[in-house]
Amino acid sequence: MIRPARPEDKDAIVAVHRAAFGNEDGVRVVTLVPPVVSLVWKESGEVVGHVMLCHVDLEGTPVLQLSPLGVAPAHQGRGIGSALTREVLRLADDAGAPFVVILGHPEYYPRFGFEPATPLGLLPPNPDWDAAWMVRKLSAYDPALRGQVTFPPAFDA
């Protein structure tokens, strides 16, 4: 089921994101951005899902972003992505993070408590992303944490 990712999972994680999205966006992030948390879902000895939290910058303060989340197409629709999302949010909350931001599907992520981030003063790296730019407030949420969020360069490549 869910466990922390290990170095030997790297190729399988890359394959999951490549298959899930049909492009290199998630692959680039998992290979170039250091994870804060990286979890896999294993089934029958095979990695079929992956989620990662990484640091992004909020005007000099590192904050967490959920990116990427991917499930191999043959395993989608069975709750694997939901389970990975709930677990990574639990770990972020347990670690005392104030929130997790995401650039994600606005019809999928609200079920996990994500809400529009811009009204809370968390500005996206690209203003065109407003509808998909969301935040999940955690137990240590502080409304004073506001400002412009910037991503590591790997997100722009």
Q: Specify the DSSP class assigned to residue 153.
A: G
Say how many CA atoms lie within 13 Å of 143 toward its Cβ: 2
Please report which confidence band the pLDDT of residue 25 belongs to, taking 50, 70 and 90 as the band edges: confident
What is the pTM assigned to this prediction? 0.94
Q: What's the domain range around 123?
A: 2-155
Quote the pLDDT of residue 132.
95
Instruction: State how many domains the chain has.
Output: 1
Q: What is the pLDDT of residues 41-93, one digit of tens each?
A: 999 999 999 999 999 999 999 999 999 999 999 999 999 999 999 999 999 99
> What CATH number corresponds to the domain at position 23?
3.40.630.30
